[in-house]
């Protein structure tokens, strides 16, 4: 029987051990491949080399070259091959070395994978997972550090997840592989070495369900990806200043778990929306709109606030790179302003 738990429960499962985020992804891939011979991994350097960030590790030696497939340097080509393999009955997991490189494959992702099920009247499915590391903080500059989640979440037909913990990296990936339709999994490069409790069992975390890792009474922080950890750290510091904050981890951007977010915002009356991506037309603009379109707007004690990356390409210089995306100090300052205690 397949175990399914929410993220908090998954992390606290009796058989949980401490793994890094990258190890958790690798374990999910290994367990899925062992369970189902239709599952295969494909991408640049995922074989003997073990992946650009070491995520695939020893999977090539465990499952062989027919199921861990090194591809040419052609994102358009191998993502298209993944779409075709999925339509033919396999369950490919396609790894992109940097999420920025999805730009080379957007026709296959947006025009083919996302739409084939609908354009063929439901006669075909594309059970493909696209894994792509994104985000800044590694000094990789403007073409290797972007946060492109809004592009994908805007596309009907794609599910989009952003795991923030090692347990969710494993559990959400397992659910994505099970899904009959395409799922984009955006992993943050800075999280690959972060560790946390991860169930040994192949525990699924359902898609479309947000997590609430911390509850407080003064304001609600809604965050995605690496910003979840920064909000939790900020909440700890705020507690020392007498400000009690909730933190909501969106986890799945599409489908979006609006009821959980609205419930938590209604409970505190203040919403601080935090993302690494630039502010203009970002995912948190959608979250803000959902709040003001709902009855939660009548419970607000202050206008909805957004804390986002600046509307600029990610710089190479470390001090500038840190300056253009929210850090813990920025979250604390924004929360103090919103709570009216500054």
Average pLDDT over residues 186-204: 97
Active-site hit among 23, 27, 44, 75: 75
Active-site hit among 44, 117, 144, 264: 144
Percent of the chain with pLDDT over 90: 94
At 1 the pLDDT is 40
Average pLDDT over residues 78-106: 97
At 234 the pLDDT is 98
- How much is the pTM? 0.95
Percent of the chain with pLDDT over 70: 96
Q: How confident is the model at residue 340 (pLDDT cuts 50, 70, 90)?
A: confident
| Residues 244-253: tens digit of each pLDDT | 999 999 999 9
pLDDT over 90 at 170, yes or no: yes
pLDDT over 60 at 342, yes or no: no
Average pLDDT over residues 308-323: 96
Average pLDDT over the chain reads 95
CA torsion sign for 214, 217, 218, 221 is: positive
The helix/strand/coil state of 306 is strand
Instruction: State both tokens at 153.
Output: 């979440």
At 100 the pLDDT is 96
CA torsion sign for 251, 257, 261, 264 is: negative
Q: How confident is the model at residue 299 (pLDDT cuts 50, 70, 90)?
A: very high
Average pLDDT over residues 317-325: 96
| Residues 41-59: tens digit of each pLDDT | 999 999 999 999 999 999 9
Instruction: State both tokens at 164.
Output: 């923030």
Whether the CB-CB separation of 197 and 144 falls below 8 Å is answered with no
Average pLDDT over residues 92-117: 97
Average pLDDT over residues 222-228: 98
**SS3 letters across 174-223:** HHHHHCCCCEEEEEEHHHCCCEEEEECCCCECCCCCCEEEECCCCEEEEE
23 is catalytic: no
241 is catalytic: no
């Amino acid at each position: 029987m397949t175990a399914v738990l929410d993220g908090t429960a998954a992390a606290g499962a009796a058989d949980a051990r401490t793994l890094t985020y990258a190890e958790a992804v690798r374990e999910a891939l290994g367990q899925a491949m062992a369970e189902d011979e239709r599952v295969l991994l494909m991408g640049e350097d995922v074989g003997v080399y073990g992946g650009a960030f070491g995520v695939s590790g020893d999977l090539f030696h465990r499952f062989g070259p027919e199921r861990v497939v090194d591809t040419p340097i052609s994102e358009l080509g191998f993502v298209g091959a993944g779409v075709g393999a999925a339509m033919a009955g396999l369950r490919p997991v396609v790894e992109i070395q940097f999420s920025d490189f999805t730009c080379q494959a957007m026709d296959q992702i947006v025009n083919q994978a996302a739409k084939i099920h609908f354009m063929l009247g439901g006669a075909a499915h594309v059970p493909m997972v696209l894994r792509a590391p994104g985000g800044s903080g590694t000094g990789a500059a403007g073409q290797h550090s972007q946060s492109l989640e809004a592009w994908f979440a805007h596309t009907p037909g794609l599910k989009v997840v952003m795991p923030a913990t090692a347990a969710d990296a494993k559990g959400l990936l397992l659910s994505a592989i099970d899904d009959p339709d395409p799922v984009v999994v955006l992993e943050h490069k800075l999280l690959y070495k972060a560790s946390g409790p991860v169930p040994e069992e192949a525990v699924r975390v359902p898609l479309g369900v947000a997590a609430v890792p911390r509850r407080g009474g003064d304001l609600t922080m809604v965050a995605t990806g690496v910003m979840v950890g920064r909000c939790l750290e900020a909440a700890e510091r705020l507690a020392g200043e007498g400000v009690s904050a909730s933190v909501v981890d969106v986890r799945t951007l599409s489908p979006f778990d609006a009821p959980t977010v609205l419930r938590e915002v209604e409970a505190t009356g203040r919403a601080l929306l935090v993302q690494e991506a630039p502010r203009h037309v970002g995912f948190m603009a959608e979250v803000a709109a959902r709040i003001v379109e709902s009855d939660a707007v009548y419970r607000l004690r202050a206008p909805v606030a957004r804390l986002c990356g600046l509307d600029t390409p990610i710089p190479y210089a470390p001090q500038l790179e840190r300056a253009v995306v929210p850090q813990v100090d920025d979250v604390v300052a924004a929360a103090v302003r919103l709570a009216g205690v500054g």
